């Protein structure tokens, strides 16, 4: 019996969302009075693997095999499930990233495990095994009971936070049984804008709506985001009009996010937009219409013209940082 956490590497490095998943898995392992093992697939330096110890992983299974350097959903799912079986893991934790979303369901089927994804809380064990997850695009939370022997939990970004719990991580090589049939989907190309903060797990998000009038006005949104170390996002009509890429569209039919700070500029706050952003911890709304529905769910607001307020806000942030 142990807890296994999958640590997704990007170009040999772990991101904050991974440390968060490890922190969470460590807390779960503590609840269960057991140890935490991490599994990493692909080429990661030993020094980087060691950092997982800081968040409580006492062992790290390192899968360095040549064939698995690049993410292949089916093969990675097989490797993680195999490790879970060999480790006798009762609980498998992943982050609910784009790749995690593709892996967790396959792992769950392989292990005949109940799966809870988008999980926002530690398990409760007083009444079986229950976790809380978001439902109805953030309009509600559901308490899910997992009744299978093995359980898979996919953690919502920013739900738990990174918590240090230093342990000395022992690195072991793990050689899985790879099946050729797991490689029929082939990755041809990866395009990644490394200079930008990724939206789904960003701590701060600066978002623009139709109130910004056109794509040419996004300079100030990007400048504010860069100053704050934030990701940029937009409302649906903005991406529909191709002012911004679809990958920035947040809301019920876009990405659901839960940053610590969401700054909405020139967005009215339609129910479908709110669905995807309402689990943000703090919401700031800048809108020239005092009646904009977004103010009803905001923590802080400025009623004013974005074209005057945002440049001043940029100055204020610069002054604050100086």
Partner 1 sequence: MKILVCISNVPDTTTKITFTGDNTQFNTAGVQYIVNPYDEIALSRAIELCEGGKGTVTVINVGESQTEPTIRKALAIGADEAVRINAAPRDAYFTAYQIAEYAKTADFDMILCGRESIDYNGAQVAAMIGEFLGIPSISIIKKLEYDGSTATLEREIEGGKEVISVSGKFVASCSEGTAEPKIPNMRGIMSARTKPLSVADAKEIEQLSSILHFETPPPRGTVKLVPAEETAKLVDLLHNEAKVI
Ligand X SMILES: Cc1cc2nc3c(=O)[nH]c(=O)nc-3n(C[C@H](O)[C@H](O)[C@H](O)COP(=O)(O)OP(=O)(O)OC[C@H]3O[C@@H](n4cnc5c(N)ncnc54)[C@H](O)[C@@H]3O)c2cc1C
Nearer to partner 1, 138 or 266 (CB): 138
Residue 263: strand pairing partners: 206, 284
Residues in 190-219 that interact with partner 1 by CB under 8 A: 190-194, 196-201, 203-204
Residues in 167-186 that interact with partner 1 by CB under 8 A: 181, 184-186
Out of 51, 54, 62, 239, point to the residue binding partner 1 (CB under 8 A): 239
Out of 215, 237, 293, 301, point to the residue binding partner 1 (CB under 8 A): 301
Using alpha carbons only, give the angle 249, 255, 259 rounded to the nearest 5 degrees: 100
For residue 175, the minimal CB distance to partner 1 (Å) is 23
Question: What is the Cα–Cα distance from 247 to 276, expressed in whole angstroms?
Answer: 14
Nearer to ligand X, 28 or 309 (CB): 309
Give the closest residue to 166 by CA, choosing from 87, 50, 61: 50
For residue 173, the minimal CB distance to partner 1 (Å) is 26
- By CB under 8 A, tell whether 279 contacts partner 1: yes
Residue 73: strand pairing partners: none
Q: Which stretch binds partner 1 (CB under 8 A): 20-28, 30-38, 41-49, 71-79?
A: 71-79
Radius of gyration, alpha carbons of the chain: 21
Residues in 12-31 that interact with partner 1 by CB under 8 A: 15
Cα–Cα distances in Å, from 23 out to 30, 161, 212, 242, 253? Answer: 11, 8, 39, 38, 30
For residue 134, the minimal CB distance to ligand X (Å) is 15
Q: What tokens were used for 314? A: 């940029």
Question: What is the Cα–Cα distance from 227 to 32, expressed in whole angstroms?
Answer: 42
- By CB under 8 A, tell whether 295 contacts partner 1: yes
- By CB under 8 A, tell whether 45 contacts partner 1: no
Q: Which residue has the tokens 């004013």?
A: 304
Cβ burial, residue 175 (10 Å; 0-12/13-18/19+) = exposed
Q: What tokens were used for 197? A: 């903060």
Instruction: Build a one-symbol-per-residue string for 278-297: x at contacts with ligand X by CB under 6 A, - elsewhere.
Output: ---------xxx--x-----
- By CB under 8 A, tell whether 104 contacts partner 1: yes
DSSP string, 43-109: ---HHHHHGGGGGT-SEEEEE--GGGSS--HHHHHHHHHHHHHHHTEEEEEEE-SHHHHHHHHHHHH
Nearer to partner 1, 45 or 271 (CB): 271
Q: Characterise 66 by phi-psi region: left (phi > 0), alpha (psi -120 to 50), beta (else).
A: alpha
Out of 42, 56, 100, 254, point to the residue binding ligand X (CB under 6 A): 254
- By CB under 8 A, tell whether 123 contacts partner 1: no
- By CB under 6 A, tell whether 232 contacts ligand X: no
Q: Which does 71 bind (CB under 5 to 8 A by kind): ligand X, partner 1, none?
A: partner 1
Q: Which stretch binds ligand X (CB under 6 A): 8-16, 149-157, 214-222, 304-312?
A: 304-312
Count the site residues for partner 1 by CB under 8 A. 103
Cβ burial, residue 221 (10 Å; 0-12/13-18/19+) = buried
- Using CB under 6 A, list all residues that contact ligand X: 209-211, 235-238, 251-254, 266-268, 270, 272-273, 276, 287-289, 292, 305-307
């Amino acid at each position: 019996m142990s807890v296994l956490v999958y640590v997704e590497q990007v170009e040999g490095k772990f991101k904050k969302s991974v440390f968060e998943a490890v922190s969470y898995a460590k807390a779960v392992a503590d609840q269960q009075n057991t140890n935490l093992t991490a599994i990493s697939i692909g080429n990661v330096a030993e020094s980087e693997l060691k950092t997982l110890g800081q968040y409580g992983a006492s062992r790290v299974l390192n899968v360095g095999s040549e064939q698995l350097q690049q993410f292949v959903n089916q093969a990675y799912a097989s490797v993680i499930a195999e490790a879970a079986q060999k480790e006798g893991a009762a609980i498998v934790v992943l982050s609910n990233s784009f790749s995690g979303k593709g892996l967790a369901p396959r792992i769950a089927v392989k292990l005949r495990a109940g799966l809870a994804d988008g999980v926002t809380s530690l398990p409760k064990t007083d009444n079986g095994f229950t976790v809380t997850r978001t439902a109805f695009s953030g309009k509600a939370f559901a308490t899910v009971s997992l009744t299978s022997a093995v359980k898979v939990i996919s953690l919502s970004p920013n739900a738990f936070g990174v918590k240090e719990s230093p342990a000395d991580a022992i690195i072991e090589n793990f050689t899985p049984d790879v099946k050729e049939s797991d490689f029929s989907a082939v990755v041809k190309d990866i395009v990644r804008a490394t200079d930008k903060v990724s939206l789904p797990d960003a701590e701060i998000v600066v978002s623009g709506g139709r109130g910004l009038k056109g794509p040419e006005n996004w300079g100030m949104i990007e400048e504010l985001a860069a100053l704050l170390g934030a990701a940029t996002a937009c409302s649906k009509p903005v991406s529909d009009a191709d002012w911004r890429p679809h990958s920035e569209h947040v809301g019920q039919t876009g990405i659901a996010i839960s940053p610590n700070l969401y700054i909405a500029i020139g967005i009215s706050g339609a129910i479908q937009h709110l669905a995807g952003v309402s689990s943000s911890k703090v919401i700031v709304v800048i809108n020239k219409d005092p009646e904009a529905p977004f103010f009803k769910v905001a923590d802080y607001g400025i009623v004013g013209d974005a074209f005057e307020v945002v440049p001043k806000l940029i100055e204020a942030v610069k002054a604050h940082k100086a």
